[in-house]
Chains A and B, each alone.
Chain A
């Protein structure tokens, strides 16, 4: 066997490496056993919660962190407070650091190791659930991102910015202003997807992970390599490590399921402009106006009523006529015109 000195310096080429004792030793030993992601996720969530309860975040209270989220969140909170839900979910004992709040629940959803939470409930780290064939879940992570899970999904909330997706589909909207919220990481068995200020979805199937980016960009990390995807791109990572990419539209069937899990949007007292911006963001359609005066009128037109239970694209037919407007769709745009 070689002595210690021979083992210190790295080989200079492939042939030398073949005879290198350290290289041979390490190769023969093989890779170290990895930790099952679920176990890592559970322990991480528990330790993180303990760390946060022991050591507060640096000079940034929870309220300040929440204040960074988009206007829609403020609306959601206002709704919770006004409806009394917030009072009911206020902790009476020492506060548990939640990872987010539940915003919408549709169809069959099984919650692991806990009872089904009510809308507006704070969700603890390590919350895990499974959606049935008709199931949908929407929640707001502590960092401000809107996260929705489609039918047939199995997921676990690791922290206020991390989700483990075992199966199914997740849609993430980190906010209209890039960087306004904490970066979100979707972890899967094959790799992790990190948002870079964006709207994107991740779908985990038996043989692959697919990342589709609607706006901004996202990064898929696999075995130490990053694959960036800009808006309009779908990345597919297969089990054999092969990564392919193709174009994907920002609207259409690929995204429809996310509309069905959209969190409630209260239009009462909101401006037409706010409403149309919400529709555009949720549908992936661009806004165009047939008449410049409509643009000028947008902020001043105040809406009344409710659009609960309608998909964002369905609300146009209900809302626009009350404003003397109508719409038509063309090439990925929704054109607003006078009625």
Chain B
């Protein structure tokens, strides 16, 4: 069992015991990522995203006991969220095709391949295209809890390891170790999307 799934199992047990802090941790960790996940698939419709994410999380709470830990908690939430989006789109009378998101489309796959092929010019130039930036941001959202934040704090916002350690309530050594694992997880996910060869 992965560390992530184990951590998720502990969190779910605490949620089922009714621990207030567990709810805070669950919401803080999952809500922003799920909101972005939904926004990306609904063309930026904020109101629809709010409604769908709320319905998803409430449904998840209702069926929380059925989560067996085969997949990460966030992945499971995304599955529930896809169902909620499908139901929402059906209510709106929209075609299922509109559900196909940017990160599942052939165009984005091609863009990723293009990025991988832009070896001579470096990643910044290729990343001018917003779609690619969103791929990176989505990968951050799908990393285990804390990894995406840590990478963003370190490399985008320029926080020191010590500052990251303070934010995560870890020792500097533990934060450094987490950053290393986060980099590895990011590299693996990025490679899996065909962007790194």
Contacts and interface: CB of A to CB of B under 8 A. Distances in A.
Interface in A1-50: 1, 3-4, 7-10, 17, 21-36, 39-40, 42-44, 46-48, 50
Contacts of A52: 18
A47 B136 contact: no
A54 interface: yes
Contacts of A50: 57-58, 61-62
B180 A9 contact: yes
Interface string B31-66: 110011001000000100010011001100110000
A56 interface: yes
A7 B57 contact: no
Nearest to A221: B167
A42 B27 CA distance: 12
A224 B166 contact: yes
A44 B133 CA distance: 28
Nearest to B125: A28
Nearest to B176: A10
B170 interface: no
Contact of B31 (A17, A21, A31, A43): A43
A51 interface: yes
Contact residues on B (Cβ < 8 Å of other chain), bracket: 35 or more
Interface string B17-33: 11110010001000110
B187 interface: yes
A29 B133 contact: yes
Instruction: Tell me the dominant secondary structure on chain A's binding face.
Output: helix
A42 B50 contact: yes
Given A22-B183, A224-B159, A47 B124 contact: no
B18 A55 contact: yes
B183 A43 contact: no
B146 to A, nearest CB: 13
A328 interface: no
Contact of B119 (A1, A9, A29, A39): A1
Interface in B183-197: 183-184, 186-188, 190-191, 196-197
Instruction: Tell me the dominant secondary structure on chain B's binding face.
Output: helix
B27 A55 contact: no
Contacts of B128: 28
Contact of B180 (A10, A57, A224): A10
B187 A7 contact: yes
Contact of A25 (B15, B136, B163, B188): B136
B17 A58 contact: yes
Residue with the greatest number of chain A CB neighbours at <10 A, chosen from B35, B46, B128, B151: B35
A224 B123 contact: no
A225 interface: yes
B157 interface: yes
A163 to B, nearest CB: 15
B154 to A, nearest CB: 8
A22 B140 CA distance: 12
Interface string B138-160: 00110000001001111111010
B171 interface: no
A281 to B, nearest CB: 27
Nearest to A43: B54
A304 B107 CA distance: 80
A39 B127 contact: no
Residue with the greatest number of chain A CB neighbours at <10 A, chosen from B118, B119, B187, B190: B187
Interface in A228-282: none
B136 A43 contact: no
26 contacts: A1-B116, A3-B197, A7-B187, A7-B196, A22-B155, A22-B186, A23-B155, A25-B190, A28-B127, A29-B133, A29-B134, A31-B156, A33-B39, A36-B46, A43-B31, A43-B35, A43-B53, A46-B54, A47-B54, A51-B61, A55-B17, A57-B20, A224-B159, A224-B163, A224-B166, A225-B163
Interface of B: 15-20, 23, 27, 31-32, 35-36, 39, 46, 50, 53-54, 57-58, 61-62, 116, 118-119, 122-124, 127-128, 132-134, 136-137, 140-141, 148, 151-157, 159, 163, 166-167, 176, 179-180, 183-184, 186-188, 190-191, 196-197
